[in-house]
Amino acid sequence: MRVLKDQKAHCFDGAVFAAAILTQIGFKPLILDMIPNERDDDHVLALFKYEGHWGAIAKSNFAGLRYREPIYRNLRELVLSYFEQYYNLEREKTLRGYTSHLNLNSFTKFDWMTNNNTMELIAQRLDEIKRYDLMTPTILSNLSKVDERLYKAGLLGANEAGLFKPKK
């Protein structure tokens, strides 16, 4: 309800709002948390499955961390499609893992679509559910920095006040 009232959202609010809207057109209300290293914010997606393939809706300050067409065979493929665009202001690629999907129908008794107090319960549950790593330590130690053009493109139109600033 806060998203409708304020006409704005952060990624978590946006994903829960998108999941609520998706239920109105026949999809299950599913979300997933993408997990970065300690030098970035996590990012929440609203998920949908169409013709057996996964897609996502997301709200982000970064241009490349938003919508994905339903073309991915599994959630790992979908999450990896965000890898190159998931970076911090130090140009470090920061995506490290993701959670299992969370069906928000389990929060129906808490009126998750209209009760803002449910957001904390949903966030807690995302912290508790199974997590999957994307890469080995060896692969992580060999990642390159984001190049200048991708960096600038990803921040096009970003609200600087909402950007995570890693500690030096």
Q: Which two tokens stand for residue 41?
A: 């914010």
Per residue in 24-83, pLDDT tens? 999 999 999 999 999 999 999 999 999 999 999 999 999 999 999 999 999 999 999 999
Residue 165 phi, psi dihedral angles, 5° rounding:
-115, 105
Using 50, 70 and 90 to split pLDDT, how confident is the model at 160? confident
CB 93 within 8 A of CB 84: yes
**Would you say the C-alpha torsion 71, 75, 37, 40 has a positive or negative sign?**
positive
Model's pTM, two decimal places? 0.92
Please, what is the average pLDDT of the chain? 94
Q: DSSP assignment, residue 65?
A: G
Higher model confidence: residue 89 or residue 160?
89
Using 50, 70 and 90 to split pLDDT, how confident is the model at 5? confident
Residue (of 162, 165, 149, 158) closest to 62 by Cα position = 158
